[in-house]
Chain A
Amino acid sequence: MARIRCEGVTKRYGSVLAVSALDLDIADREFMVFLGPSGCGKTTTLNIIAGLEQISDGEIWFDDRRVTLIPPHKREIAMVFQSYALYPQKTVYQNIAFGLRMRGEPAGRIAAKVKAAAEELEISHLLDRRPQQLSGGQRQRVALGRALVRNPAAFLMDEPLSNLDAALRVSMRTLIKKLHRSMGTTFIYVTHDQAEALTLADRITVMRNGVVQQVDTPEGIYNRPLNRFVAGFLGSPQMNFVEGEIREGATGYVFARGEFVLKLSPDIARGQSGRSVIIGLRPEDVDFISNRTEACAGRAMLVSPLGSEQHINVQTGDIELIVRAPKEARIVVGDQLRMTVDPRHVHLFDPATEMAIKSSS
């Protein structure tokens, strides 16, 4: 249990800046997810919080304790890794008990704690085996057990589910979420998988090139991205981006690029006529079975049915949009479609800074 704060944390490897002036305040018992593409500095940040990397600048606090110079074994953290990192020469029992042994707990208490953790994770029957004899899912359960017997100040996870197959990943996700509930400990979870981030997190920190892009709730990150990178990184299929300009027409403000015209919310567009912008459209925000007058025309170029829904590539003017359609929609390649978007769902970005343009109200 700890509130974890990073103040201006910077990490340089020679001339490479891995993490740049990171400010972060993770609340006690919060589930914080670091999300970003590989090489964005999220694992480095996790290592820094764990004390496994020395920082070049800044301070780290666990509650009121400054831990910047405290070595990892004195920080009371537990870690789970993508590679599981089980000690191959030890049995499952010894793996789970190791952290407690290092703290000099009496053997009786260790046995009781290991037993309880093994039962919670349903690995009681594996305690005498060695890691080589376990499947990937079982290994990851052992790794979780090793961390949760410890009652640490913070639980740090480095892509723990990335090596598991899709079905197992979903069930382990649920398990981790339950563990967070029952343990009441601060969790910091690194992933590049947006689905994991959105389902698990209380808050998400999106990183890129060592710089924090946005810290917000999953809902906030998804619906109110601060810049084009965040907008594009979350969502599958990706948000559509179209460059064009704002115009003031007879019916109000519109975004226009050739024949492609979209109505904009006057809150954002007021007084910006003539400004060139990038708009972002989530595939699910395009409603294209409509005969309203402001709808724009397009042609279905590709239909990808996914079972629960369909993804349609639509050509309109010189651009191609990916649009989500319900599974029952009967669309075939070549169909002429009419599309419309609720102006509230149109995201606007500045082409130069790529930052979101906020409504002035």
Chain B
Amino acid sequence: MSERSFLYRWQPLGRGVILALFSLLLVAYVAGPVAWLVSSSLQSEADITAVPPNWIPPKVMWGNFEAIFTAGQRTVTYENRYQGDPTAGRFLPSGAENLLPSVWNSFVVGLWVAVINLLVSITAAYAIAVIHFRGRQTALYSILITRVIPDIALIVPLFLVVRNLGLINTKLSLIITYLAVTLPFTIFILISYFEQIPRDLYRAARADGCSHWQALLHVYLPLSVPALIASLMFAFLTSWNEFIFALILTQNIDAQTLPIVISGFVMDFTTSFSFVNAAGVIAIVPPVVLAFLFEKYIVSGLTAGAVKG
């Protein structure tokens, strides 16, 4: 075998091995913590803290999840609180009964944020990307510049505004706040997407008799499904994961969201890692379901064939 044919035969293989190796590294980096979260949610406290750690639960325990779903029916009293041993499974930290209501709160807030965000950003992006009105650049920059300010700097003024409006500890305060956070991004995403749609399609639609609303509805939206889904998911997930604003603006389970309630399970004296991790698994289920549902839509290339080529 000559040196050349040796190279031809083995070079692609070598490249494949390197690609596979780095892909595995990336997967381990990204998926490792999630795998540990899921695995440990099914382990007892002793198994979790074992050295070396158990990646696969030695004994699968559903007790944490059972505890979460029955928490509402169990009364935690001063006495039985201390009877519960974190290492035994079915341990209930105080406030455990708030977990499921907070999932609902997160869901309601996230849904409203996603829907209102989409309605507002679609119309705003269409106006800026498609209608050549005077001051559109200024409009775009003034929307974007609000995101230059770090959230933490806004906390105190925002708290004062919300308090003066009498909205402290309401879901509405969270919805309004999260809209302000997510809208600039989704408007920006949609503007870039709308601008990619050939301008001739807009001209054709208007000549065909579409008003701006109809052009948006019949031409722009059907061609922007991937961007719309991406915006929807971005808004929902931002709202679902957000911590610092929710911490400041809510006080009890009337409005508290999942991250706030889960963080409350880390207590001074006893922290059940298995329970916290089980709650963590509950917290990541909706995003994962969303991602699987919409994965096939987040594929570009819908505009192929619109214009020449």
Contacts and interface: CB of A to CB of B under 8 A. Distances in A.
Q: Among B203, B208, B303, B306, find the residue whose CB has the most chain A CB atoms closer than 10 A.
A: B208
Contacts of B209: 73, 99, 102-103
Contacts of A47: 203
A106 B14 CA distance: 65
Contact of A79 (B204, B218, B302): B204
Contacts of B201: 85, 87
Contact of A51 (B206, B208, B218, B306): B206
Contacts of B204: 79, 81, 85-87, 146
Contacts of A78: 207-208
A83 B219 CA distance: 16
Nearest to A133: B305
Contacts of A139: 308
Given A71-B211, A98-B218, A85 B307 contact: yes
Given A71-B211, A130-B305, A89 B198 contact: no
B223 A72 contact: no
B197 to A, nearest CB: 10
Contacts of A351: none
Contacts of B218: 87, 98, 102
Given A83-B200, A88-B223, A131 B305 contact: yes
Contacts of B208: 73, 78, 98-99, 102, 146, 150
B308 A136 contact: yes
B222 interface: yes
Nearest to B223: A89
A250 to B, nearest CB: 62
Contacts of A86: 204, 305-306
A77 B218 CA distance: 19
A78 B207 CA distance: 5
A85 B203 contact: yes
Contacts of A98: 208, 218
Contacts of A38: none
A83 B198 CA distance: 9
B210 interface: yes
A44 interface: no
Contacts of A131: 305-306
Interface in A152-200: 156, 163
B304 interface: yes
Interface of A is mostly: mixed
B285 to A, nearest CB: 33
A79 B204 CA distance: 6
Nearest to B303: A88
A85 B306 contact: yes
Contact of B306 (A72, A88, A156): A88
Contacts of A19: none
Interface in A26-69: 47, 50-52
B300 interface: no
A84 interface: yes
A148 to B, nearest CB: 12
A19 B21 CA distance: 61
B214 interface: yes
B203 A81 contact: yes
A132 interface: yes
Interface in A103-150: 103, 130-133, 136, 139, 146-147, 150
A52 B304 contact: no
B211 A73 contact: yes
Contacts of B200: 81-85
A320 B200 CA distance: 44
B149 to A, nearest CB: 31
A79 B198 contact: no
Given A83-B198, A88-B223, A89-B302, A50 B203 contact: yes
A72 B308 contact: no
A207 B285 CA distance: 63
B205 to A, nearest CB: 8
Contacts of B211: 71, 73
Contacts of A85: 198, 200-201, 203-204, 306-307
B64 to A, nearest CB: 47
A102 B203 contact: no
B218 to A, nearest CB: 7
A163 B207 CA distance: 21
A287 B209 CA distance: 55
Q: Which of A47, A71, A84, A163 has the most CB of B within 10 A?
A: A84
Given A87-B219, A89-B223, A50 B304 contact: no
A186 to B, nearest CB: 14
A87 B223 CA distance: 9
Contacts of A163: 308
Nearest to A87: B219
Interface centre among A102, A146, A156, A163 (most CB of B within 10 A): A102
Interface string B269-309: 00000000000000000000000000000000011111110
Interface string B201-233: 101111111110010001100110000000000
Interface in B20-54: none
A234 to B, nearest CB: 27
10 contacts: A72-B206, A72-B207, A73-B210, A81-B200, A84-B200, A87-B306, A88-B304, A102-B218, A132-B304, A150-B208
Given A83-B306, A133-B305, A163-B308, 9 more contacts: A73-B211, A73-B214, A83-B307, A83-B308, A85-B198, A88-B304, A98-B208, A99-B209, A150-B208
Top 4 A-B residue pairs of the complex, sorted by shortest distance between their CB atoms: A132-B305, A83-B307, A85-B200, A79-B207
